[in-house]
Amino acid sequence: MIRNQLLVCAGGACITSGEKSVKDVLVDELKKNGIEDEVQVIETGCMGACDLGPIVVVYPEGTFYQKVTAENAGLIVNEHLVKGRTVDGLLYTEPTSERKAQTSGDIPFYTRQVKRVLRNCGVIDPLSIEEYIARDGYFALGKALEMTPDDIIQVLVDSGLRGRGGAGFPTGRKWKATREAKGSPKYVVCNGDEGDPGAFMDRSVLEGDPHSIVEAMAIAGYAIGAEQGYMYVRAEYPLAIERFEYAIGKAREYGFLGRNILGAGFNFDIEIRIGAGAFVCGEETALLRSIEGKRGTPSVKPPFPAQSGLWNKPTLINNVETYANIPQIITNGAEWFRSVGTLKNPGTKVFALVGKVQNTGLVEVPMGTTLRELVFDIGGGIPGGKKFKAAQTGGPSGGVITADYLDMPIDFDSVKEIGTIMGSGGLVVLDEDNCMVDIAKFYLGFTVDESCGKCTPCREGTRQMYQMMERICDGKGRDGDIERLNKLANMIEDTSLCGLGQSAPNPVLSTIRFYEDEYRAHIYEKKCPSHVCKHLLTYSVTPDKCVGCTACARQCPVHAITGEVKKIHVIDQSKCTKCGSCYEICRFSAIRKE
């Protein structure tokens, strides 16, 4: 008889912070106390609050333990499970009210979310097909097989679901086009090549609820008339691959994949294709070439994959999060899907909330939620009392949303108007200490590395832009650089073949648009207003604050600081390498950085 269940978050972040040893300790302690038959330990997918990991939730109470370590995990067994005493020290303290949260229902990070795509993540054991079924899993497939393919597609069209990979193309229309395309066989592909720095939405779904994708791909196969599906996922996601592969095996065993599925005479199967992690393979035509075993380079559209995709056959390609919405839309209907979100952007969106924010992690909110709600209500604001500066969305293809737009509802269309993109959902919060020129340089550097090299504007143009950015950050910016960057950016956008090149200049264009003054300060005044760009910094000693403790002089690796005990010290600017170690070590705030 099971009296308690311990849910241990086995998402990527919790695993890296020591989930495995926590779980081992729990299992050991249960055995030591002889209650291993009464208390079950279950590993789940990502629970979302990644900065609180490793997380252990004790049911039926729902007690939410955070930052559990191998050292204190034993307390959960010996105190909570044996003696019935909540381990107060492991509870989450709400920073504003300083109240201890007993369950996740007491934590604002959770209460403001609407979990649809992530409804099973952190709730079920991703390796248990039975638990997925218990949460209505595979009932959508059963229902779909009793509908006509056209009816299924009509439900999707009515739902208004738009592709969650970034572009927001209407999913129903894509399915319809693939169904109507001439050619056989047809293929279903899932794009799991999530590549934006800091984004991990799709990985978490594949790790936490893999069956939802298996089910959705089978529904897609039936709807468009395909018998073969491919899951394309990058090799950097070994756990996602492992769990998805296991899910495919279980689905075959239960007859949700294979021949004559649920007795409806429909055949479908899925194979995994592992990508080597090239960013360009997230672009659909490059991804399809990679599945075919060719070099991952994009091709001209049209023809679109719906007409001519894998091996020139009609191919439906959707992103992981898009698929994750499908079974619930089939089960609950288009109206249900439209019950949250905005008119043109119904449903929810998963964001990977990272950067300068208190609560980092995976959050799911209705479309049209404002940045203020995301960053301050759910994210808990900026650490260290710093000022919010901007949020970077859309990764290397996107741009920034500034503080002026904190109250703008975020959806596919609104963010486009201010020059960035929704992208797949990476949301990096920046504060006053971030230099926008430096940030733009970082993302541009990423696309320079990831350009496949097929088109000259992308291959050479982004490199030229990067060199210009480097020069600006190094204090060698010249009059006219901003104009040159703009001109080159527009040219790259206009003349690149695929989305990677067309969007590569976005981080630069977007930051020039909102922070031209920072660019000007770098170029004309040779100053970095946020004190980030090393070559534009000067460290000096404020004479009235220096007590002559000699700490900085001893710390300086190049002996650029001179001065005697109890005498004011001086930094020799010709020797200073701007490493900042004097600034770090000074206890009297006597080192000035400007």
Partner 1 sequence: MKSLEELKRIKEQTLKEMDLRQAKERGKVIVAMGTCGIAAGAKDALMAIIEELEKADIHDVKVVQSGCMGLCDKEPTVEVAMKDQPAVIYGDVNDANARRIVREHVQGGNVVADLVIKRENI
Q: Looking at beta carbons only, is 143 or 471 nearer to partner 1?
A: 143
Q: Looking at beta carbons only, is 124 or 306 nearer to partner 1?
A: 124
With beta carbons less than 8 A apart as the criterion, state whether 167 and 206 touch: no
Q: Which residues bind partner 1 (CB under 8 A)?
A: 1-5, 7, 38, 59-61, 80-85, 123-124, 128, 130-131, 133-134, 136, 138-139, 142, 254-256, 262-263
Q: What minimum distance in Å lies between the beta carbon of 140 and partner 1?
A: 11
Q: Looking at beta carbons only, is 60 or 385 nearer to partner 1?
A: 60
Q: Looking at beta carbons only, is 84 or 302 nearer to partner 1?
A: 84
Pairing of strands 226-234, 186-192: parallel
Pairing of strands 348-355, 361-366: antiparallel
Long-range contacts of 512-520 (CB under 8 A, 24+ apart): 512/482, 512/485, 512/486, 513/399, 513/419, 514/390, 514/400, 514/402, 514/436, 515/436, 515/437, 516/482, 518/435, 518/436, 518/437, 519/437, 519/472, 519/477, 519/481, 519/482, 520/482
CA–CA separation, 226 and 231 (whole Å): 14
Look at residues 466, 149, 137 and name the one whose alpha carbon lies nearest to residue 316: 149
Look at residues 543, 525, 541, 544 and name the one whose alpha carbon lies nearest to residue 533: 525
Q: What minimum distance in Å lies between the beta carbon of 326 and partner 1?
A: 18
Q: Looking at beta carbons only, is 123 or 421 nearer to partner 1?
A: 123
Q: What minimum distance in Å lies between the beta carbon of 173 and partner 1?
A: 30
With beta carbons less than 8 A apart as the criterion, state whether 129 and 210 touch: no
Q: Looking at beta carbons only, is 133 or 585 nearer to partner 1?
A: 133
Give the angle 256-260-263 at the CA atoms, nearest 5°. Answer: 85
How far apart, in Å, are the Cα atoms of 175 and each of 54, 187, 311? 40, 11, 18
With beta carbons less than 8 A apart as the criterion, state whether 229 and 217 touch: yes
Q: What minimum distance in Å lies between the beta carbon of 356 and partner 1?
A: 34
Q: What minimum distance in Å lies between the beta carbon of 215 and partner 1?
A: 12
Q: What minimum distance in Å lies between the beta carbon of 12 and partner 1?
A: 22
Q: Running DSSP on this structure, what letter comes out for residue 369?
A: -
Q: Looking at beta carbons only, is 124 or 329 nearer to partner 1?
A: 124
Q: What minimum distance in Å lies between the beta carbon of 334 and partner 1?
A: 22
Q: What minimum distance in Å lies between the beta carbon of 336 and partner 1?
A: 20
Q: How many CB atoms lie within 10 A of CB 105?
A: 10
User: What residues have CB less than 8 Å from 483, skipping those under 6 apart?
Assistant: none
Q: Looking at beta carbons only, is 56 or 488 nearer to partner 1?
A: 56
Q: What minimum distance in Å lies between the beta carbon of 9 and partner 1?
A: 14
User: What residues have CB less than 8 Å from 398, skipping those under 6 apart?
Assistant: 392, 420, 421, 422, 423, 503, 506, 507, 510
Q: Looking at beta carbons only, is 76 or 421 nearer to partner 1?
A: 76
User: What residues have CB less than 8 Å from 276, skipping those under 6 apart?
Assistant: 234, 235
Q: Looking at beta carbons only, is 326 or 571 nearer to partner 1?
A: 326
Q: Looking at beta carbons only, is 144 or 353 nearer to partner 1?
A: 144
How far apart, in Å, are the Cα atoms of 147 and each of 48, 50, 334, 396, 549? 35, 40, 15, 41, 80
Sign of CA dihedral 244, 398, 15, 44: negative
Q: What minimum distance in Å lies between the beta carbon of 104 and partner 1?
A: 12
Phi and psi for 64 in degrees, rounded to 5?
-105, 105
List 545's β-bridge partners, or say none. none
CA–CA separation, 267 and 450 (whole Å): 38
Q: Looking at beta carbons only, is 63 or 392 nearer to partner 1?
A: 63
Q: What minimum distance in Å lies between the beta carbon of 60 and partner 1?
A: 5
Sign of CA dihedral 574, 575, 577, 581: negative
Q: Looking at beta carbons only, is 35 or 403 nearer to partner 1?
A: 35
Q: What minimum distance in Å lies between the beta carbon of 578 and partner 1?
A: 54
- CA atoms within a 13 Å half-sphere pointing along the CA-CB vector of 223: 33
Q: What minimum distance in Å lies between the beta carbon of 381 and partner 1?
A: 29
Sheet holding 39-44, edge to edge: 39-44, 4-9, 56-59, 63-65
